[in-house]
Amino acid sequence: MLGRILDQMMPVDCFHETDRAAFGRDMRTLGAAVRRRLVEESSAQVVLFKPICDSHLASEMLAEHGDGKAIWIYRYWRDVTNSNVTIWKGQWKQVYGDLLTGQVTDWGWRHEGISEDAMQMLHETYHDDISERDAASLKWWVRNASYFDQGLDQRADVLPVCYEQLVTEPIEQFGRICRFLGIAFDPGSVATVFDKSIGKEQAPPEDPRVIAVCDPMYDRLKAAQAAWERRFAEQYGGRGAA
């Protein structure tokens, strides 16, 4: 949704994860050389990539361009898990089972960028009888832990965005994003944003061990966003809509 709205704005060239000009069939970016070429060929004010499977490489990608910026969008873990168990068709239990038992399996990005702290969490939380749903929730934890592991929470050029705020306060939050990107904001561009996907599906009971790690991670992300606002928002014109 964020990419779609930004893609409608004239100054933006947006490459989604399904765009074969920038991403392979595995939804991974085709590499630094391809990104540089696409940026050089673009006449847009902003070139946006959505490297959803390469978020653990965000700091490396930012280093490619002196004026590069990133948006780290996070969403409440139960809603993300609802999507994960549908989209990824029950793979996360095997992904982390193989990782923890040292199985040599080509899971690609699913086994990349996992810090020692994340490995410790998996060792303490994963178990043989874990449900696929709970394993998918651990995936949400691991991927968002990378935001902190890379030190992105300390950077003025990485904007944290809460999905729930984005869809319930679209004028304020998209105004904030546009100021960060340095582009003009048209309030009419967010007329199609809706919040019906928040808590859309009833979540079955989760393992208490999973709740005990995922709830604090969501709180940590929200706290990091608040800290970012206190430290860096003034650089981009403060809070509120543009």
pLDDT digits (tens, 9 = 90+) for 174-186: 999 999 999 889 8
For Cα atoms 18, 24, 30, give the angle at the middle one, nearest 5 degrees: 115
Residue 63 is assigned to a structural domain of this protein: yes
pLDDT at 107 over 50: yes
Domain, as residue range, for 129: 2-236
Long-range contacts of 107-115 (CB under 8 A, 24+ apart): 108/26, 108/28, 108/53, 109/26, 109/28, 109/53, 109/54, 109/56, 110/139, 112/56, 113/56, 113/57, 113/146, 113/149, 114/142, 115/145, 115/146, 115/149
Residue 191 is assigned to a structural domain of this protein: yes
**Chain mean position to CA 110:** 14
Residue 209 is assigned to a structural domain of this protein: yes
CA distance 42 to 99: 40
Residue 172 is assigned to a structural domain of this protein: yes
User: Out of 2-11, 92-101, 223-232, which region has the weakest mean confidence (pLDDT)?
Assistant: 2-11
> pTM here?
0.91
How many domains, the chain?
A: 1
Residue 242 is assigned to a structural domain of this protein: no
Residue 169 is assigned to a structural domain of this protein: yes
26-56 pLDDT, tens digit per residue, is 999 999 999 999 999 999 989 999 999 999 9
CATH of the domain at 93: 3.40.50
Residue 33 is assigned to a structural domain of this protein: yes
Residue 241: band (very low, low, confident or very high) from pLDDT cuts 50, 70, 90: very low
CA distance 138 to 136: 5
